Structure 1
């Protein structure tokens, strides 16, 4: 420490000069000048020694044996540590001071400089996206998606949509066309051979049931009738099929009495409150049961995993091929088709959106101001709740110091100023010595002599 070395040298010089002046005084005699020089050096030496003693007493025992009110810092280490920690916490790094400093920091500026000058050159966007993908837990995401879909499905009132649909059909001019379309579809189905076979099987079942329920003679008569084609289920099925088709064709006529009657009964059944309630309850139960037994989690997870792998591969490839990223300030949105299934297109779309939003952020004073405000609020919230940690860290750190290390710490931080006090003590002592000597010899002594003589 420079001031300590200066103070030590000055003290040594004063001791030598004081001894030398007294030796010279012994040879030259007690002249006025020699008395003044001796007094000045004596005052300077006393001031220097007194300050040396005071400064040294802070750290240890001066000369190793002065123990009264010495080694102040080691003896009061707990108080010193507590005072230092409180000073750092409440003065050097107080909440108001930190808040004032934070309010003057333009965080958005540093963020923009980092991204523009460093992050983009290293394929930061690809790195960030890959890290985000690696953080994804596809199983949990799939589970959340499935639960969300099921929750939404439970909330859907299917009957209200059906009711709205029937309203729009029956109360619009499209009703007849819709009914005829349905009838055409049913007619096409009725013409199929499988329908005839089903009718035939149905009739065979009826015939068989009737035979089993009758006595012996009835079964014998029915058997003879079948052998003589008196009962032919195949022909009966054809006749029934034809009758059904004819009936459906007749129903296509909107003025047909049966059609009018059916429409009326259907409308009554649909709009009757009791029936509506039952239908709604049945449909809702059917829907909920279907949702309960539906398990799409694995399917979602499989699709999600495949898509994540595709995205990661595409991002890795793009990252490896990046030499530099140009500033895309004038970039415009691109049209992406089937981006959900196309990893490359999705990555391009994501990058494009990032560049667009990044440019919008850079050129928006409001956006940068909002970002600064959010960051300051976040930091200040942490500081308000954890500000006492500053003092605790300082206290815990200083508590690990030995007495010697604590002395070195204090001297390192304040030693230059403390040892300058020693230099000041020497200078002030010398100046004060001159003033006292002159006052004593030129003012005080003549006045006293004059008073005693008169």
Structure 2
């Protein structure tokens, strides 16, 4: 069973842990204990030879230096030996003042508009963003060749679509579309489209398709046509069987007419249809009554509950399809996003004018944020540090700089010993 991990912090990009600081503390303490042992040993050996006096002087001064630095280092974080000596446990006792000082330092040296503008002046944000976006993706072990930003964007899109209420969002989108369509005058737009299609003969395939559809519809409903003629015929015609002949003649005539219209581009009926379409195109654009009828039809269509249900079904299929494609590493959605981001990145790298505009916008945005929200940012820093309890702030600072502080103890022990040795040497000549 593994023990709990010790919280890790970073300083200068290197991870620092409470364990590493603790090891250095034990090293410094061990060195102090060694000096104490050497002091006792050399004190016992002084009568044997005068040379032991140098070791004794070194060990004695080293203990004094090590103890003095131990007291100084310990006083920063806690009361030495638990004794509430004045001006000890400096950091825990003054954490609120430290928080305000840190925030004020941040405000005056980093978040002033002049400093932000000067720093941003030498940064090419657009080029850096272009390099990041245009970097080729690194294939992963599962074959996903999407870049991290593409994969992250796709996953974010999927999560957003999943978190939204499908019915509510579908109704909102439908209401937005209906509102926008309600503002559009559809009649002139349809009229101009129809007029342009007739002028360019783009209506001919549509007309041919309509004629074929009419022929197929007539073929599927021959019995209905025969029953209608039979019902309208008088008893004499039905008694003589002429109604059957009339029905057959009518159907044959209709088939023949549709076939002639289909194969003959110059058929008079085509001209009549084109005249009707041209008149309809003109009325859609200029006739108030026609335009009003079209607008009424549009409003009725938008307000029809069946259309609302149809749209919700369409939207749900679109939503589920987007979620599925976003989650699929092999789908075209990720590739399209990657290509789009790569094209944007290349444009940011190569277009100097675009870089100037983007960099100017980024600089103005950063200066604006510093001007408007600088005070709130430093207040957030100050309040966050103030909310930390004394143990937390002491642990974080000690973990960050504790190793260096223990080196101070070690250096104090060694330097003190060297000073004592030097003084003993000088005393021998006096």
What is the deviation of 1:84?
A: 3.9
Give the aligned partner of residue 306 of structure 1: 310
1:141 to 169, 176, 180: 176
Task: Measure, in 1, the Cα distance between the counterparts of 2:153 and 2:305.
Answer: 32
8 Å CA contact retained: 1:361, 1:367 = no
8 Å CA contact retained: 1:40, 1:431 = yes
Task: Measure, in 2, the Cα distance between the counterparts of 1:125 and 1:81.
Answer: 36
Task: Measure, in 2, the Cα distance between the counterparts of 1:116 and 1:300.
Answer: 43
Structure 2 CA distance for partners of 1:390 and 1:412, relative to 1, 3 Å: farther
What is the deviation of 1:364?
A: 6.3
Give me the TM-score of the superposition, normalised by structure 2.
Answer: 0.50
Give the aligned partner of residue 415 of structure 1: 402
8 Å CA contact retained: 1:126, 1:315 = no
Matched, 1:55 2:73: yes
What is the deviation of 1:85?
A: 4.3
Give me the TM-score of the superposition, normalised by structure 1.
Answer: 0.48
What is the deviation of 1:327?
A: 8.6
1:396 to 380, 383, 387: 383
Structure 2 CA distance for partners of 1:413 and 1:60, relative to 1, 3 Å: same
1:69 is paired with a residue of what secondary structure?
Answer: coil
Between structure 1 and structure 2, the one with the greater Rg is 1
1:67 is paired with a residue of what secondary structure?
Answer: coil
8 Å CA contact retained: 1:40, 1:434 = yes
Matched, 1:436 2:423: yes
Task: Measure, in 2, the Cα distance between the counterparts of 1:62 and 1:322.
Answer: 59
Q: Note the alpha carbon deviations across 1:398-435, whole angstroms, 9 max, x for none.
A: 32333233322221121111111000101111222233
Consecutive unaligned residues in structure 2, runs of 5 or more? 1-21, 139-143, 193-285
Structure 1 vs Structure 2 CA RMSD? 5.3
Structure 2 CA distance for partners of 1:441 and 1:297, relative to 1, 3 Å: farther
Task: Measure, in 2, the Cα distance between the counterparts of 1:391 and 1:52.
Answer: 34
2:45 is paired with a residue of what secondary structure?
Answer: helix
What is the deviation of 1:7?
A: 0.7
Give the aligned partner of residue 116 of structure 1: 146
Matched, 1:405 2:430: no
8 Å CA contact retained: 2:134, 2:345 = no
Task: Measure, in 2, the Cα distance between the counterparts of 1:300 and 1:102.
Answer: 54
Task: Measure, in 2, the Cα distance between the counterparts of 1:74 and 1:322.
Answer: 50
1:12 to 6, 14, 33: 33
**Number of aligned pairs?**
291
Structure 2 CA distance for partners of 1:75 and 1:316, relative to 1, 3 Å: closer
1:264-413 → structure 2 map (5 Å cutoff) = 295-296=299-300, 298-299=302-303, 303=307, 306-307=310-311, 309-310=313-314, 312-313=316-317, 316=320, 359=339, 362-363=342-343, 366-369=346-349, 377=362, 380=366, 384=370, 385-386=372-373, 390-413=377-400
